[in-house]
Amino acid sequence: MKAHIASTRLPGVLSSSVGNFGGMFSLGGAMRGMREPVLVSSIDGVGTKLKLAFATGKHASVAGDLVNHCINDILVQGARPLFFLDYFGTGKLDPAVAEQVVAGLSASCREARCVLIGGETAEMPGMYADGEYDLAGTIVGIVNKDRLVTGEKIEEGDTVIGLLSNGLHTNGYSLARHVLMERGHIDLSGAMPNGNTTYIDALLARHQCYAPAILPILASAPGLIKGMAHITGGGLLENIRARSRPVWAPTST
């Protein structure tokens, strides 16, 4: 686990070792060229997608989901990630499972150049069913105040662009399990109709991180993107309304 965490280390980290009560990060380098730096933070979990991890023993993908979900949450304000902290709560710690989780967190952090700077592992007997755990994470990013993406300048006639997902990401899994398993009695290890993947691999596809597509545009063309919405709980219409001043909905994406 220490090796995975160390692999995410970047300039700015002041914490000397894993296990400190607080992770320390110097903003000096991160603020270079910024007149009014703004910290943007978010906290989230991956919901009932964890049930699939419990059932399959594949835990790295849901951990990677968590990081990418949180990155997308601050990306819609125009922020790039700085560091991430996780919370892992379970009844009895299984070191092999914990190692998979940390590996998944670290992989997504490395890809996004985001430091896994700290976390909390809590053993609470009687709080969780055997083999189950809860996973949540907090991210902190940065953006200059004049580069914040607020949605306030959106107006009728602007173009709406939808970026493709690679699956359900981290929402809708209670419904998916109900439809596929309880109603459809589908063997999730079986091949999907397209034959390219199994149901379980499609369901466990890692939540896509949109930062590589969006951050270069924000840097090279300030103001071009007037508003963004991370389409998670609430779906397309609720999230777009929440991120724009006018109340409108696209006819297509």
Average pLDDT, the chain: 89
Q: How confident is the model at residue 245 (pLDDT cuts 50, 70, 90)?
A: low
pTM, 2 dp? 0.89
Identify whether 203 is part of a domain. no
Position 142 pLDDT exceeds 60: yes
Centroid of chain to Cα 63: 9
Identify whether 98 is part of a domain. yes
- Return the axis-axis angle of helices 95-111 and 60-75, rounded to nearest 10°: 40
Position 252 pLDDT exceeds 50: no
Identify whether 229 is part of a domain. no
Identify whether 96 is part of a domain. yes
Number of separate domains in the chain: 1
| Higher-confidence position of 233 and 183 | 183
> Span 13-42, mean pLDDT?
86
Written as six digits, the tokens of 22 are 């607080």
Which CATH number is 68's domain given? 3.30.1330.10
Does residue 192 contact residue 242 with C-beta atoms inside 8 Å? Answer: no
The predicted-structure confidence for 118-132, as pLDDT tens digits, reads as follows: 999 999 999 999 999
Q: What phi-psi label fits residue 145: left (phi over 0), alpha (psi between -120 and 50 degrees) or beta?
A: alpha
Q: How confident is the model at residue 196 (pLDDT cuts 50, 70, 90)?
A: confident
**DSSP labels for 159-183?**
PP--PPPSS-TTS-HHHHHIIIIII
Identify whether 162 is part of a domain. no
| Helix, strand, coil fractions of the chain, as percent rounded to 5 | 35, 20, 50
Identify whether 253 is part of a domain. no
Q: 118 forms bridges with which residues in the sheet?
A: 85
Res 232: pLDDT: 82
The predicted-structure confidence for 69-108, as pLDDT tens digits, reads as follows: 999 999 999 999 999 999 999 999 999 999 999 999 999 9
Cα 243-248-253 angle, rounded to 5 deg? 85
Quote the domain boundaries for residue 52: 2-148
Identify whether 243 is part of a domain. no
Identify whether 42 is part of a domain. yes
